[in-house]
């Protein structure tokens, strides 16, 4: 806390902060100052990393005045704040985004040139903070960007993992994971705030005492504690003077923790205790679908949520704030179930610490939370065993039990005599072990529950939470995901952005619906020519990068067909692989003449969870096929396959603007939304996709004639499964599929080793849980339509332009407007 002793009458003491001049001279001067006084070096002696850090700190300076001003304005206005609670933020590199937000790109480039530095080499020096697994984490990053651009009071709360998502390498075509030590060369974008540390308890027991008036009071007595140290990150809006805050928590040992042991005289034990506490924020769990129920993961969840609630209630709100009015000042958005333990935590704070009656507290709590679900896979729904939860958070377990008791009473009242329903809806599951269903808890306590695309929200109501949507239909809503046009168009695709701005003005960057104004230009031959030039140059840039980064040599002219996303059976990378093998087989067997083939380059990017064995076998197979195809002179220039390692946000920013074809081929009813699909469409790729997730909405908006649809619909999938699906039968009765699988099974791509391909082949033939074989023929037919369409460059370009023009809906700014209207302000 800032006391009067720190106040001074100096005119600069309470701001405004003096911002460096936004000129080349001002930038150079600040940069050299940062090199000298921040890095302690001279330009002539500085390393690349010194220069990168000084550049980052220079850009920081330009943001600081706005950051302080935004904070002061927010404190003064006392408006309702969005507390976005997310265990993941997949931010991507910060330098480029912050230069864009401050409109300093050209100034910085010229300033660096004057110092004899190519700014591109400094940009390349930044290690992206990979604090997320995939779509869910990237969505959080897009949302905080949009909220800043829209000047919505927001605090993003999360975890500052010391190690983010693993770095993927390939050894003998197999995935090998390496630790992502993203902090090791310095982290110029973060501001530690030790004065805002928070104490978090774990374990122990609860004590109930009865007061003289008969009221009972329960108190949790934890048996160990850790400190949460917040690190603040700037979240700038796009050139609007707003800088919001992302507050990420890092775990530290408490003094109480080690003092006890120190006093017992065991120094080494005390140091070990420190390591134990700091383990909590050590590493991001790389599983993105099947939660492992690991104790450390529950510790992470409670740790960041407890820090965040305490931070808002005790350190952000005015000291005399009446917490009965809490819902007027905050809405906590739960990004999936990972932060759901915040619900009993708020109840505990209100009842045990602030003296609220239970009903009063419940009333407040229900209005403070809303829950977003991101999945349809039953195995992805998080549950915590009662044994573990009770051991780590005994008071929270008691609270959850009471919430459940009162909730089930409500169910009994609404559906008298329906005990089956009561059991189905219970927050506590009894089998296979007694456990807490976090999605149910979120649904019971949350004011709203939303899915992330129309189809997903419908299936959420009908299939995942049908009993709940029957009880509370008005609780359920949809907000279709979006992506930030700043990072994924303006920053990633500078050439397209210039063409757009030259054609329709620059308003599209913050009002993406204005891309509609592009529609008439789809019929303008010279615009199409320019649009093709942009694509070509983006491809050249990508291939230059892949040559240096991965030693890949790819043909310039071929159609660029891209499938980038986490590796999952339901996403069906194997279906794409079967297509590649079938094209290869057609060529080498002479069924298709070289001149009949539309040349293609297929690029994959995908990380597999380290314990997901089948996914890792699929990676091995993709790499094996790529090796053989690329080395075969018979298909040279006609078919190439690239699998650059370590797909991340930075690589996505290069790949997506270059793509011609976007692969969105999940089994219908499995992909909640997808967001890569939106990024591709906005960058002028055409989609080949199933009727799944947000593909449904993309197709409706861009038009059937500009989208390659294939595969079963979700109801068809259901019927097919009900009828008894046998993949071997499809294999037997589909000659092209049989040839393709036989070629893989023969060991052709693995140096004759049939054993090496058996895990994938056997799974396809005997399991095929996601029906790749059932959709194979339809997929190949759609791919032939793609080939034919690509052979007509004018018509293809027209479709690509219309994809851009009609995808403005997928801006995360629009998603934020929907959240504001349907969830946060209702
Ligand atoms: O969330 C993804 C969905 O699969 C996408 O369809 C959707 O577009 C995206 C954003 O809504 N889900 C996802 O990325 N999940 C995870 O990353 C995840 C991470 C940890 C975990 C479970 C899931 N324990």
Q: Are residues 471 and 565 in the same domain?
A: no
| C-beta 675 within 6 A of ligand 1 | yes
Candidates 252, 486, 565, 798; catalytic one = 565
Residue 619 lies in a domain: yes
Smallest CA separation from ligand 1 atom 12, residue: 136
Q: Are residues 497 and 471 in the same domain?
A: no
Residue 75 in this model has a pLDDT that exceeds 60: yes
Which residue intervals of 486-572 are DSSP H helices? 494-504, 525-550
Position 481 confidence tier, pLDDT thresholds 50, 70, 90:
very high
Concerning whether 294 is annotated as a catalytic residue, the answer is: no
- pLDDT per position as a tens digit, 613-634: 999 999 999 999 999 999 999 9
DSSP of 233-297 = EEEE-SSSS-EEEEEEEEEEE-HHHHHHHHHTT-HHHHHHHHHHHHGGGTB----SSS----HHH
CA gap 388, 291 in Å, rounded: 14
| C-beta 136 within 6 A of ligand 1 | yes
Give the pLDDT of residue 826: 76
Q: Are residues 327 and 368 in the same domain?
A: yes
Smallest CA separation from ligand 1 atom 13, residue: 136
Tell the residue number behind the tokens 């219908």, with chain if given.
668
Q: Which two tokens stand for residue 612?
A: 């997901």
Concerning whether 766 is annotated as a catalytic residue, the answer is: no
Sign of the torsion angle spanned by Cα atoms 643, 645, 651, 654: negative
| C-beta 133 within 6 A of ligand 1 | yes
Q: Which two tokens stand for residue 529?
A: 């020519």
| Average pLDDT of the residues in 483-489 | 99
Residue 459 lies in a domain: yes
Give the pLDDT of residue 574: 98
- pLDDT per position as a tens digit, 432-472: 999 999 999 999 999 999 999 999 999 999 999 999 999 99
CA gap 303, 338 in Å, rounded: 11
| C-beta 376 within 6 A of ligand 1 | no
Candidates 57, 60, 338, 566; catalytic one = 566
| C-beta 443 within 6 A of ligand 1 | no
How far does residue 505's CA lie from ligand 1's centre (Å)?
35
How far does residue 380's CA lie from ligand 1's centre (Å)?
9
Give the pLDDT of residue 6: 54
Ligand 1 pocket mutation, candidates 89, 130, 131, 135, criterion most atoms within 8 A of CB: 135
Q: Which atom of ligand 1 is nearest to the CA of 338?
A: 24
Concerning whether 565 is annotated as a catalytic residue, the answer is: yes
Q: Are residues 39 and 151 in the same domain?
A: no
- 566, HSE (Cβ side, Cα atoms, 13 Å): 23
Instruction: Give the CATH number, domain containing residue 329.
Output: 3.40.50.2000
What's the predicted TM-score (pTM) here? 0.97
Burial of 759 (0-12, 13-18, 19+ CB in 10 A): middle
How far does residue 136's CA lie from ligand 1's centre (Å)?
4
Which CB contacts under 8 angstroms, 24+ apart, belong to 457-465?
459/376, 459/669, 459/714, 460/373, 460/376, 463/376, 464/373, 464/376, 464/378, 464/381, 464/439, 465/439, 465/440
Q: Which two tokens stand for residue 358?
A: 């239970």
CA gap 653, 650 in Å, rounded: 5
CA gap 229, 567 in Å, rounded: 34
Q: Are residues 469 and 495 in the same domain?
A: no
Closest to 89 measured CA to CA, from 181, 161, 184: 161
CA 104 distance to own-chain centroid: 27
Residue 215 lies in a domain: yes
- pLDDT per position as a tens digit, 305-316: 999 999 999 999
Residue 396 lies in a domain: no
Give the pLDDT of residue 263: 65
Residues 6+ apart with CB under 8 A from 539: 556, 560, 658
Position 44 confidence tier, pLDDT thresholds 50, 70, 90:
very high
| C-beta 436 within 6 A of ligand 1 | no
Concerning whether 825 is annotated as a catalytic residue, the answer is: no
Residue 808 lies in a domain: no
**199 lies in which domain range?**
79-93+130-161+193-381+439-480
Which CB contacts under 8 angstroms, 24+ apart, belong to 346-351?
346/309, 347/399, 347/403, 348/220, 348/395, 348/396, 348/399, 349/309, 349/310, 349/313, 350/323, 351/218, 351/399
What is the chain's length?
A: 826
ω before 739 within 30° of 0 (cis)? Answer: no
489 close to 683: Cβ distance less than 8 angstroms: yes
Last residue in a domain, options 501, 523, 545: 523
Q: Are residues 39 and 145 in the same domain?
A: no
Give the pLDDT of residue 3: 47
ipTM exceeding 0.95? yes
Crossing angle for the helix pair 793-805 and 772-790, to the nearest 10 degrees: 110
Residues 6+ apart with CB under 8 A from 490: 100, 497, 509
User: How many domains would you assign to the chain?
Assistant: 4
Q: Helix/strand/coil (H, E, C) string of 589-631?
A: CCCCCHHHCCCEEEEEECCCCCCCHHHHHHHHHHHHHHHHHHH
Residue 821 lies in a domain: no
Residue 170 lies in a domain: no
Q: Are residues 605 and 694 in the same domain?
A: yes
| C-beta 692 within 6 A of ligand 1 | no
Give the pLDDT of residue 256: 61
| C-beta 298 within 6 A of ligand 1 | no
How far does residue 442's CA lie from ligand 1's centre (Å)?
17
| C-beta 460 within 6 A of ligand 1 | no
Give the pLDDT of residue 288: 87
Q: Are residues 368 and 279 in the same domain?
A: yes
In this structure, the number of other CB atoms found within 10 A of the CB of residue 292 comes to 11
How far does residue 404's CA lie from ligand 1's centre (Å)?
27
How far does residue 539's CA lie from ligand 1's centre (Å)?
29
Position 291 confidence tier, pLDDT thresholds 50, 70, 90:
confident
Residue 765 in this model has a pLDDT that exceeds 90: yes
How far does residue 329's CA lie from ligand 1's centre (Å)?
28
Which H or E run includes 147? Answer: helix 135-149
Residue 258 in this model has a pLDDT that exceeds 60: no
Q: Are residues 508 and 533 in the same domain?
A: no
In this structure, the number of other CB atoms found within 10 A of the CB of residue 663 comes to 29
Last residue in a domain, options 447, 480, 513: 480
| C-beta 139 within 6 A of ligand 1 | yes
| C-beta 622 within 6 A of ligand 1 | no
Concerning whether 679 is annotated as a catalytic residue, the answer is: yes
**Residue 508 gets which letter from DSSP?**
G
Question: 156 by DSSP, 3-state: which?
Answer: strand
453 close to 810: Cβ distance less than 8 angstroms: no
Q: Are residues 118 and 143 in the same domain?
A: no
In this structure, the number of other CB atoms found within 10 A of the CB of residue 630 comes to 17
CA gap 100, 538 in Å, rounded: 19
CA gap 31, 441 in Å, rounded: 51
Smallest CA separation from ligand 1 atom 23, residue: 288
CA gap 162, 175 in Å, rounded: 22
Position 691 confidence tier, pLDDT thresholds 50, 70, 90:
very high
Pairing relation of β-strands 154-159 and 708-709?
A: unpaired
Q: Which atom of ligand 1 is nearest to the CA of 382?
A: 24
Smallest CA separation from ligand 1 atom 5, residue: 674
Residue 818 lies in a domain: no
Give ∠ CA 149-154-159 in degrees, rounded to 5.
Answer: 110
- pLDDT per position as a tens digit, 494-549: 999 999 999 999 999 999 999 999 999 999 999 999 999 999 999 999 999 999 99
| Average pLDDT of the residues in 720-729 | 98
Tell the residue number behind the tokens 């109801």, with chain if given.
715
| C-beta 457 within 6 A of ligand 1 | no
Concerning whether 675 is annotated as a catalytic residue, the answer is: yes
Position 259 confidence tier, pLDDT thresholds 50, 70, 90:
low
Candidates 679, 699, 798, 814; catalytic one = 679
Q: Are residues 324 and 374 in the same domain?
A: yes
Q: Which atom of ligand 1 is nearest to the CA of 693?
A: 6
In this structure, the number of other CB atoms found within 10 A of the CB of residue 342 comes to 26
Question: 801 by DSSP, 3-state: which?
Answer: helix
Give the pLDDT of residue 498: 98
Spell out a b/e string for 532-547, using b for 16 or more CB atoms within 10 Å of the CB, else e. Answer: bebbeebbeebbebbe
Question: 539 by DSSP, 3-state: which?
Answer: helix
Smallest CA separation from ligand 1 atom 19, residue: 288
Last residue in a domain, options 505, 523, 541: 523
Residue 1 in this model has a pLDDT that exceeds 80: no
Residue 292 in this model has a pLDDT that exceeds 90: no
CA distances from 322 to 78, 150, 366, 445 (A): 13, 28, 17, 21
CA distances from 248 to 86, 162, 229, 318, 425 (A): 10, 11, 8, 22, 34
Residues 6+ apart with CB under 8 A from 382: 291, 336, 337, 338, 340, 438, 439
Q: Are residues 537 and 552 in the same domain?
A: yes
């Amino acid at each position: 806390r800032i006391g009067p002793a720190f106040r001074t009458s100096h005119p600069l003491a309470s701001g405004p902060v003096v911002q460096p001049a936004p000129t080349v001279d001002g930038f150079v001067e600040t940069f050299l100052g940062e090199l000298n006084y921040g890095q302690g070096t001279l330009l002539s002696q500085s390393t690349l990393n010194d220069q990168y850090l000084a550049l980052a700190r220079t850009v920081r300076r330009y943001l600081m005045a706005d950051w302080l001003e935004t904070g002061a304005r927010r404190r003064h206005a006392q408006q309702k704040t969005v507390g976005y609670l997310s265990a993941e933020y997949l931010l991507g590199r910060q330098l480029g985004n912050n230069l864009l937000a401050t409109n300093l790109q050209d100034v910085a480039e010229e300033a660096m040139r004057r110092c004899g530095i190519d700014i591109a080499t400094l940009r390349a020096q930044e290690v992206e903070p990979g604090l997320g697994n995939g779509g869910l984490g990237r969505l959080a990053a897009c949302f905080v960007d949009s909220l800043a651009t829209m000047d919505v009071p927001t605090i993003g709360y999360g975890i500052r993992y010391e190690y983010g998502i693993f770095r993927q390498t390939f050894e003998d075509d197999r995935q090998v994971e390496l630790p992502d030590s993203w902090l090791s060369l310095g982290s110029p974008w973060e501001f530690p705030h030790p004065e805002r540390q928070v104490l978090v308890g774990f374990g122990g027991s609860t004590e109930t005492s009865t007061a003289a008036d008969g009221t009972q009071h329960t108190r949790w007595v934890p048996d160990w504690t850790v400190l949460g140290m917040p690190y603040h990150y700037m979240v700038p809006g796009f050139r609007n003077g707003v800088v919001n805050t992302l507050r990420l928590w890092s775990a530290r040992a408490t003094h109480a923790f080690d003092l006890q042991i120190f006093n017992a005289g065991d120094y080494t034990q005390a140091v070990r205790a420190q390591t134990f506490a700091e383990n909590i924020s050590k590493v991001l769990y790389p599983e993105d679908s099947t939660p492992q129920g690991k104790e450390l993961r529950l510790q992470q969840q409670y740790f960041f949520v407890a820090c965040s609630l305490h931070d808002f209630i005790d350190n952000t709100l005015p000291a005399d704030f009446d917490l009965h009015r809490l819902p007027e000042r905050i809405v906590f958005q739960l990004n999936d179930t990972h932060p759901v333990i915040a619900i009993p935590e708020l109840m505990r704070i209100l009842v045990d610490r602030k003296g609220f009656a239970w009903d009063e507290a419940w009333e407040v709590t229900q209005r403070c939370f809303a829950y977003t679900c991101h999945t349809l896979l039953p195995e992805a729904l998080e549950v915590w065993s009662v044994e573990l939860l009770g051991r780590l958070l005994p008071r929270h377990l008691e609270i959850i039990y009471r919430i459940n008791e009162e909730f089930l009473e409500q169910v009994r009242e609404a559906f008298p005599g329906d005990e089956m329903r009561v059991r189905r809806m219970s927050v506590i599951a009894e089998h296979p072990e007694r456990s807490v269903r976090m999605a149910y808890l979120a649904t019971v306590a949350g004011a709203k529950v939303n899915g992330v695309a129309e189809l997903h929200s419908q299936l959420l109501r009908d299939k995942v939470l049908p009993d709940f949507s029957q009880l509370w239909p008005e609780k359920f809503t949809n907000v279709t995901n979006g992506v930030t046009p700043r990072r994924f168009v303006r920053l990633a695709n500078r050439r397209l952005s210039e063409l757009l701005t030259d054609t329709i003005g620059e308003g599209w960057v913050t009002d993406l619906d204005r891309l509609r104004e592009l529609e008439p230009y789809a019929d303008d031959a010279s615009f199409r020519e320019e649009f093709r030039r942009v694509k070509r140059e983006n491809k050249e840039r990508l291939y230059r990068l892949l040559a240096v980064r991965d030693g890949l040599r790819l043909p310039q002219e071929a159609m660029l067909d891209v499938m980038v996303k986490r590796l999952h059976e339901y996403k069906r990378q194997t279906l794409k692989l079967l297509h590649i093998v079938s094209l290869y087989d057609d060529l080498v067997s002479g069924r298709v003449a070289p001149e009949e083939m539309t040349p293609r380059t297929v690029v994959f990017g995908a990380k597999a969870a380290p314990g997901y064995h089948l996914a890792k076998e699929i990676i091995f197979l993709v790499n094996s096929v790529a090796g053989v195809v690329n080395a075969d002179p018979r298909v040279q220039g006609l078919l190439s396959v690239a699998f650059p390692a370590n797909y991340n946000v930075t690589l996505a920013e290069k790949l997506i603007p270059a793509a011609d074809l976007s692969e969105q081929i999940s089994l219908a009813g499995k992909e909640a939304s997808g967001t890569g699909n939106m990024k591709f469409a906005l960058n002028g790729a055409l989609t080949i996709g199933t009727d799944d997730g947000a593909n449904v909405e993309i197709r409706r908006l861009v038009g059937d004639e500009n989208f390659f649809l294939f595969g079963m619909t979700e109801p068809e999938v259901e019927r097919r499964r009900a009828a008894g699906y046998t993949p071997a039968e499809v294999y037997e009765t589909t000659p092209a599929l049989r040839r393709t699988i036989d070629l893989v099974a023969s060991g052709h791509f693995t140096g004759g080793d049939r054993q090496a391909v058996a895990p994938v082949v056997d799974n396809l033939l005997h399991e095929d849980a996601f029906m790749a074989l059932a959709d194979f023929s339809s997929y190949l037919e759609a791919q032939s339509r793609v080939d034919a369409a690509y052979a007509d460059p004018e018509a293809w370009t027209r479709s690509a332009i219309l994809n851009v023009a009609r995808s403005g809906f997928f801006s995360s700014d629009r998603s934020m407007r929907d959240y504001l209207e349907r969830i946060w302000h209702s």
